[in-house]
Amino acid sequence: MKNRRAVIVLCGLFLPLAGCGIQGKWALSDVDPTAATRDFEFANLTLQKDGSFYAEEIREGRGIRTSSGTYDFDRGVLRLKSHDGKLVAYDAAVQGNELELERFWQGQKIKATFTRQTDD
């Protein structure tokens, strides 16, 4: 039992160093169902270590709209609170270099998959 706890603690210490946490730059790669792509809020999402976020929404014919504020990630729920006071919550999971966000919109479950972007 002690060895298992040690492994869990070590993983908790090293995952952030390996870039496996939720912090980072993410680009939208897929939305399910596909028809909901136009209704999903973000095309790019940056989650900073200090708890701030920056997001870009790209709409055809309307350009890029940006949003920023603070975020909280706890027990599989990502909450984004923009500077204008809007709060949005998602069920969230990080699996390797993918971030999956799920929520219900107009009675339908939407799943958005983001891919971690690297600084070149």
For residues 95-107, give the mean pLDDT. Answer: 91
Split into its structural domains, the chain has a count of 1
Q: Residue 4: CB partners within 8 Å, gap ≥ 6?
A: none
- pLDDT given for residue 105 in this prediction: 77
CATH number at residue 47: 2.40.128.280
- pLDDT given for residue 17 in this prediction: 40
The pTM (predicted TM-score) of the whole model is 0.76
Average pLDDT, the chain: 82
Q: What is the pLDDT of residues 13-71, one digit of tens each?
A: 444 444 459 999 999 999 998 877 776 778 999 999 999 999 998 766 677 889 999 99
Q: Is residue 13 part of a domain?
A: no
Instruction: Place 108 in a pLDDT band, splitting at 50, 70 and 90.
Output: confident
Q: Is residue 11 part of a domain?
A: no
- pLDDT given for residue 107 in this prediction: 83
Domain residue limits at 72: 21-117
Instruction: Say what the alpha-carbon torsion angle 30, 31, 33, 37 is, to the nearest 10 degrees.
Output: -120
